[in-house]
Structure 1
Amino acid sequence: MDITEFHERSDQLFQDIEQQLDEYAEQYDTDIDYESHGNVIAITFENQSKIIINTQEPLLQIWMATRRQGYHFDFKDGDWLCSRSGVPFRQLFDESIKDQISH
């Protein structure tokens, strides 16, 4: 993947995340605030816990930091996959949202 494709794919992921956050807030009946600045999305929950998602352009990766751990994602086979486990971003993001809300 070249840098142009990386930007296109990461921009699309960030747009998808922002749309999903409203759905999560409604689904879990909670407030979820977020700020997006360039290559970083900071998500804050009612309990003041956070998830930070950002691009790592030199590595062509997406990084996500949660209350439990950090993840690095590479774009492979048409999806952002965790570099350690191979689990898709959306699955780990969904699990992290549930975890953050429940604490």
Structure 2
Amino acid sequence: MNELEYLDAAEKLLLSVEQACDRINDDTDADIDAQRVGGMVTLTFSNRSQIIINLQPPLHEVWMAAKSGGYHYKWDGKVWRDTKTGNDFYADLTRDATAQSAMKLLFGA
């Protein structure tokens, strides 16, 4: 993967997270505040807990920090996969957002 391919895939991921937050806020009482600054999106839940997703261009990775820990994802050509567990980014985000918000939330591509 070259730099342009990484940036394209990573930007699509961040945009999909922002759009999912908008959808979730419209459909539920979750009230997720999604703030984007450059290559970083911070999700703040009503209980003030946060999930931070940021781009790591030199490594061609996307990192996510949540209460459960920190995760590094690489694009495998189809999905962003955790470099240690192989889990899909959206499955991990769904798990952590659900835990931190105490509401069933669903994120996906």
Q: Aligning the two structures, in what range does the TM-score lie when normalised by the shorter sequence? A: over 0.9
Cα distance, 1:38 vs structure 2 = 0.9
Cα deviations across residues 23-76 of structure 1 (Å, max 9, x unaligned)?
A: 233454121101101100011000000000000111000000001111100111
Cα distance, 1:4 vs structure 2 = 0.5
Distance 1:23 1:99 in 2: 19
Runs (4+) of structure 1 exceeding 4 A deviation are none
Q: How does 1:1-103 map to 2 (within 5 A)?
A: 1-102=1-102
Could you tell me the TM-score, scaled by structure 1's length?
Answer: 0.93
Root mean square deviation, CA, Å? 1.4
Could you tell me the TM-score, scaled by structure 2's length?
Answer: 0.88
Which one scores higher on RCO, CA 8 angstroms, separation ≥ 6? 2
Q: Secondary structure at the match of 2:86?
A: coil
Count residues with an aligned counterpart.
Answer: 103
Unaligned runs of 5+ in 2: 104-109
Unaligned runs of 5+ in 1: none
Distance 2:28 2:86 in 1: 27
The structure that is helix-richer by fraction is 1
| Amino acid of the structure 1 residue aligned with 2:39 | N
Stretch deviating more after TM superposition (89-98 or 24-33) = 24-33
